[in-house]
Chains A and B, each alone.
Chain A
Amino acid sequence: MTFLLTEDQEMLRDTAMAFARDELPVTHLRELRDSGANGKDPSTRQKLAELGFFGVIVPDEPGGETFGLVGLGQILEAQGRTLAATPLLQTALIGASVLQLGGSPAQQAEWLPKIAGGETTFALALDESAHFNPLNVATEAERNGQGYTINGEKRYVPDGHHADMLIVVARTFGEPGDRHGLSLFLVPANAKGVSIQELETVDSHGAAHITFTDVTVKEDALIGAADQGADILEPVLDRAAIGQAAEMLGSAQAAFDMTLEYLNNRKQFGQLIGSFQSLQHRAAKMFTELEMTRSCVAAALSAADEGKSDVAELASLAKARAGELVHLVSNECVQMHGGIGMTDVADPGLYMKRARVQEALYGSSSWHRDRYAKLNGY
């Protein structure tokens, strides 16, 4: 495991930072929000494809070199800084990972190039209740003559309102809560029987509730072995948590930087408010938390690339700490900005709204804290 970037990864990071700064500033999210786009942004998708960002973990040739999850993490962090709504986490990370870890050679040959080229976007349709609970799947996939018939309802699917393909977690055996009996299916978003209810969300990124009514898919829609879907899903969810944590690190860093700048400019009682020790110590504590979370995210990304045995533990560490970090920093960002922090025209509120969505996706801090304890035998 290493905390250092390769030269290629550094260049990728610099490109991603510049792109987020120049093309996807926070004002871009405001424009999307105010125009009612609800996170749908075809022109940005096109630019991301041209930059090659969709294919960061997909090699040109099977077994070839890539920037790895460490590289993708740099992009997600850069986009987190400006709260950008892009399909990268769902498509470049989750979609590519599902296919790489569980797809057949034919599925990989068909879909990985389309992911890498940005031609097809994906969304993982997993949760069925208001809280992340990956085994709690009631959606059923029943065998029919040539394949499966899917019935069920998924809630708050990120990118579900604009993805081309859905990766649906359904039950082919057992009861909600059972690990055995889950299966993963590739379902086109426009397939007959798929009903998408677009959601307007607090972070202006949007999402969807998706209902499956007698949706039929062929045998080749199944990813991996039937009933064994958890074996693919769990490492994918670890990667998703790590990628989400990388994005959160970027958001927390930006909110912190904004706060620091305000402390260094705003005057009250004839003094810079940043000269008050009560605010200085809170800023210093936030900085300590930021640096420590940065270590966790870097370690988790690197371990995932190397396929280390402690990826699950590090994923929970990174997501739990990133959740606490972004919660703390977004709240302090609003508070330290005072009245202006409560206004829509200022950015702190946008960071706080996005933070709560980030915290909930792929397991809250308390969910991952509990899992960390479980993984360590207590």
Chain B
Amino acid sequence: MADTAVDELETFRAETRAWLEENCPPSMRTPMKDDEIVWGGRRGTFKNPDSKVWLDRMGEKGWTAPQWPKKYGGGGLTREQDRVLQEEMRRIRARPPLFSFGLWMFGPALLEFGNEEQKMRFIPDIVKGKIRWCQGYSEPGAGSDLAGLQTRCEDKGDHYLINGQKVWTSYADKADWIFCLVRTDTSVKHEGISFILFDMTSPGVEARPILLISGESPFCETFFTDVKVPKDQLVGKVNGGWEIAKRLLQFERSSISAGGFGGTGGSGILGPEEYAKQHIGTDSEGRILDGDLRGRIADHKMYAKAFNLTVQRQAEQAKAGQAVSHTASILKYGAAKMNQDRHELLIEALGTEGLGWEGEGFDSSAKKVTRQWLRSKGNSIEGGTSEINLNVISKRVLGLKDHQ
């Protein structure tokens, strides 16, 4: 890098540091609490008022989407500047101002496939967290076989008419708008799918939360009955939605496996080795008393370490321009196994302390483990089941043949 570029980057760092010091409220520099996560939207709530201040300031600068173009409200930063911004935010332990499917999945896809008018209309509100989006993909008959979706979209001249049902729609009951896969041609499969956007308050839209084994309801069944959608809200070409859908799934899978289904940051949950020490006890050397459990915890931690090293290796190879084939499936499979094993060990190490459900008498972080353990069972189902991922590896990577 040229010296002037280095100088400019250091100037940017100094300015960014000063701005963050000035504008990031002190309570936004503490570990995130689950009930203070900001998802934004028309009905967005802010349990901690500082989180609204923080979102408004960051959204105004476009730093919720640092690399998106300025004309759509983004930060307009270069990759290097974005890296500096992330470093400076980490330095003061600043919380992410906004969690958003718009930022992670829909926005990148719209920037790639949308027309100018659509980008001007939708992107700025994603950046500022004013509109919360949900994803209308899976249907009762289209899970692993997503392209089998049946939700009908008919051309009625001056508008489209949508009828059908989606399922596993994350936070459909809290979202303002939906990006949705619909069938515009029933005579073909992949080539008959379109990508369309509409307001969840449109007449004929109904979202019903699904109660899960974890006691929580992050997903909905979503019904569409004669929903009228203006024609300028179809993205790309009619029947050209599958390409957009696949691209968006890549954004989704990589955001799932990059986080390895999320750590325990800030939630007050300890590692299984700590719970085992607390609840089982230690020997004279300070080691977990139960040697068998200790071995299984170490085995899991080594798997996790090997997984993280593999993520690093593949990132380094990709950066160097070396071919990395079908890594998403390998990593998605590994991430699900890793997170599920971790939660089984957490529950085991906690003993009866990990079997609480509600009310007094149990540590609140232990109750959180219980819920997360149940939630983790979905990791090998959502975003492509582990079996589908093994199919993909064996056929696409290893070249094994189908039954004749």
Chain A residues engaging chain B, CB cutoff 8 angstroms: 2-4, 260, 263-264, 270-272, 274-277, 280-281, 283-285, 287-288, 291-296, 298-299, 317, 320-321, 366, 369-370, 372-374, 376-378
Counting CB contacts under 8 A, is B381 at the interface?
A: no
**Given A264-B401, A369-B295, A378-B277: A4 touches B393 (CB 8 Å cut-off):** no
In the complex, chain B residues whose CB is within 8 Å of the CB of A293: 306
Assembly CA distance A292 to B387 (angstroms): 19
The residue that B273 contacts in the complex, of A264, A281, A376, with Cβ under 8 A, is A376
Counting CB contacts under 8 A, is B263 at the interface?
A: no
Most buried by A among B276, B306, B395, B397: B306
Are B390 and A280 within 8 A (Cβ)? yes
Nearest CB in chain A: distance from B292 CB, A: 11
Nearest CB in chain A: distance from B380 CB, A: 13
The residue that A274 contacts in the complex, of B310, B313, B401, with Cβ under 8 A, is B401
Assembly CA distance A56 to B389 (angstroms): 41
Are B316 and A281 within 8 A (Cβ)? no
In the complex, chain B residues whose CB is within 8 Å of the CB of A294: 313
The residue that B395 contacts in the complex, of A272, A280, A296, A378, with Cβ under 8 A, is A280
Are A264 and B400 within 8 A (Cβ)? yes
Are A275 and B400 within 8 A (Cβ)? yes
Contact with A along B298-334 (1 / 0, CB 8 A): 1101110111011011001100101000000010011
In the complex, chain A residues whose CB is within 8 Å of the CB of B397: 284, 287
**Given A281-B387, A284-B390, A369-B299: A292 touches B277 (CB 8 Å cut-off):** no
**Given A284-B390, A372-B302, A378-B277: A260 touches B398 (CB 8 Å cut-off):** yes
Counting CB contacts under 8 A, is B402 at the interface?
A: yes
Are A274 and B400 within 8 A (Cβ)? yes
Nearest CB in chain A: distance from B324 CB, A: 10
Assembly CA distance A293 to B295 (angstroms): 19
Are A378 and B287 within 8 A (Cβ)? yes
Q: Which of B311-359 contact A (CB under 8 A)?
A: 312-313, 316-317, 320, 322, 330, 333-334
The residue that A281 contacts in the complex, of B317, B394, B399, with Cβ under 8 A, is B394
Counting CB contacts under 8 A, is B11 at the interface?
A: no
In the complex, chain A residues whose CB is within 8 Å of the CB of B273: 373, 376-378
**Given A295-B310, A370-B295: A288 touches B302 (CB 8 Å cut-off):** no
**Given A288-B330, A288-B334: A320 touches B302 (CB 8 Å cut-off):** yes
In the complex, chain B residues whose CB is within 8 Å of the CB of A270: 404
In the complex, chain B residues whose CB is within 8 Å of the CB of A370: 294-295, 298
Nearest CB in chain A: distance from B310 CB, A: 4
In the complex, chain B residues whose CB is within 8 Å of the CB of A292: 303, 306-307, 309-310, 334
Q: Across the interface, name the chain A residue whose C-beta is closest to B394.
A: A280
7 tightest CB-CB pairs across the interface, nearest first?
A280-B394, A284-B393, A373-B298, A378-B273, A295-B309, A3-B313, A292-B306
Are B309 and A296 within 8 A (Cβ)? yes
Question: Can you list 5 contacts pairing A with B, beta carbon distance less than 8 Å?
Answer: A3-B317, A287-B330, A292-B303, A296-B305, A378-B297
Are A291 and B301 within 8 A (Cβ)? no
In the complex, chain B residues whose CB is within 8 Å of the CB of A260: 398-400
Are A288 and B401 within 8 A (Cβ)? no
Assembly CA distance A280 to B276 (angstroms): 37
Are A283 and B316 within 8 A (Cβ)? no
Are B276 and A299 within 8 A (Cβ)? no
Nearest CB in chain A: distance from B58 CB, A: 33
In the complex, chain A residues whose CB is within 8 Å of the CB of B79: none
Are B298 and A369 within 8 A (Cβ)? yes
Q: Across the interface, name the chain A residue whose C-beta is closest to B271.
A: A378
Are B294 and A373 within 8 A (Cβ)? yes
Counting CB contacts under 8 A, is B156 at the interface?
A: no
Are B390 and A4 within 8 A (Cβ)? no
Q: Which of B370-404 contact A (CB under 8 A)?
A: 387, 389-391, 393-395, 397-404
In the complex, chain B residues whose CB is within 8 Å of the CB of A320: 302
The residue that A283 contacts in the complex, of B313, B387, B398, with Cβ under 8 A, is B398
In the complex, chain A residues whose CB is within 8 Å of the CB of B330: 287-288, 291
Assembly CA distance A270 to B401 (angstroms): 13
Assembly CA distance A293 to B317 (angstroms): 16
Are B316 and A4 within 8 A (Cβ)? yes
Nearest CB in chain A: distance from B277 CB, A: 7
The residue that A321 contacts in the complex, of B277, B302, B333, with Cβ under 8 A, is B302
Are B312 and A295 within 8 A (Cβ)? yes
Counting CB contacts under 8 A, is B220 at the interface?
A: no
Are B297 and A373 within 8 A (Cβ)? yes
Nearest CB in chain B: distance from A149 CB, A: 36
In the complex, chain A residues whose CB is within 8 Å of the CB of B299: 369
Q: Across the interface, name the chain B residue whose C-beta is closest to A321.
A: B306
Counting CB contacts under 8 A, is B286 at the interface?
A: yes
Are B394 and A284 within 8 A (Cβ)? yes
The residue that A275 contacts in the complex, of B322, B387, B403, with Cβ under 8 A, is B403
Nearest CB in chain A: distance from B312 CB, A: 7
Assembly CA distance A276 to B390 (angstroms): 13
In the complex, chain B residues whose CB is within 8 Å of the CB of A288: 330, 333-334, 393
Q: Across the interface, name the chain A residue whose C-beta is closest to B402.
A: A275
Assembly CA distance A239 to B334 (angstroms): 28
Are A283 and B400 within 8 A (Cβ)? yes
Contact with A along B213-229 (1 / 0, CB 8 A): 00000000000000000
The residue that B394 contacts in the complex, of A283, A295, A299, with Cβ under 8 A, is A283
The residue that B313 contacts in the complex, of A277, A281, A295, A377, with Cβ under 8 A, is A295
Assembly CA distance A374 to B301 (angstroms): 12
The residue that A378 contacts in the complex, of B288, B306, B310, with Cβ under 8 A, is B288
In the complex, chain B residues whose CB is within 8 Å of the CB of A295: 306, 309-310, 312-313
In the complex, chain A residues whose CB is within 8 Å of the CB of B297: 373, 378
Contact with A along B277-292 (1 / 0, CB 8 A): 1000000001110000
Q: Across the interface, name the chain A residue whose C-beta is closest to B307.
A: A292
In the complex, chain A residues whose CB is within 8 Å of the CB of B301: 372-373, 376
In the complex, chain A residues whose CB is within 8 Å of the CB of B316: 2-4
Assembly CA distance A366 to B320 (angstroms): 36
Are B306 and A296 within 8 A (Cβ)? yes
Are B398 and A378 within 8 A (Cβ)? no
Assembly CA distance A163 to B394 (angstroms): 44
Q: Across the interface, name the chain A residue whose C-beta is closest to B397.
A: A287
In the complex, chain A residues whose CB is within 8 Å of the CB of B322: 4
**Given A280-B394, A321-B306, A369-B295: A3 touches B312 (CB 8 Å cut-off):** yes
In the complex, chain A residues whose CB is within 8 Å of the CB of B400: 260, 263-264, 272, 274-275, 280, 283
